[in-house]
Structure 1
């Protein structure tokens, strides 16, 4: 699908603003995990949801986002504008087992049985 894959990883500050909580893993840890994926060419900080600004900064021709974002107004607006600029927008299925909420609940469930 792409020749050069840039992945945005939400900064700790952004995650607090977006989800009102910190991530279990620090930004630096999440970056290292994403960098270890052989298909990833570059990891960049995601400080906000401004996909148009990201387009002008990185010049991508495809934006890939999780299916769970499809109905968020910020993504709907960005998709409309990006398509006008010739950018394809692709939504990929989100696996339940990859959800941080799912992982947290599994950990709580496991420890409550001890």
Structure 2
């Protein structure tokens, strides 16, 4: 029997861009089977934001990426609960979480069960935050033009 290395990553994946694609592609390069959790609209509020693209559509976008083997809804931020459900061998996450109290704790918990955490640097350039800021500027310009 061939044992596969299962990887897991999560994200909002709102306004999907090349940074999202790079994360998923790099994750797939380091595992045989990649599970991607797409954050539900309700959970997006942890970023004090509202998703522009509805959850169902974000799930469909991610499902159609050739590097993704399985897409699941991310309904909470508890990564240990996700491990119990999906039994992955490695977790992929953005480097902006490295060294935080929450992820230091996850590192300890995952190490005790043999799960690796791999941090990927953010892709320089486009980000969802930058896209939101640009949209807001355009909206403000349009509002000012109508006055």
Normalised by the length of structure 1, the TM-score is 0.88
Structure label with greater radius of gyration: 2
Following TM superposition, by how much is the alpha carbon of 1:32 offset from its aligned partner in structure 2, in angstroms?
1.2
Question: Is 1:2 equivalent to 2:1 in the alignment?
Answer: no
Structure 1 gaps, min length 5: none
| Number of aligned residues | 113
Distance in 2 of aligned mates of 1:99 and 1:64:
18
* One of 12, 35, 41 as aligned partner of 2:63: 35
By relative contact order (CA 8 Å, sep 6+), the higher-ranking structure is: 2
Structure 2 gaps, min length 5: 1-29
- RMSD of aligned alpha carbons: 1.8
Aligned counterpart, 1:70: 98
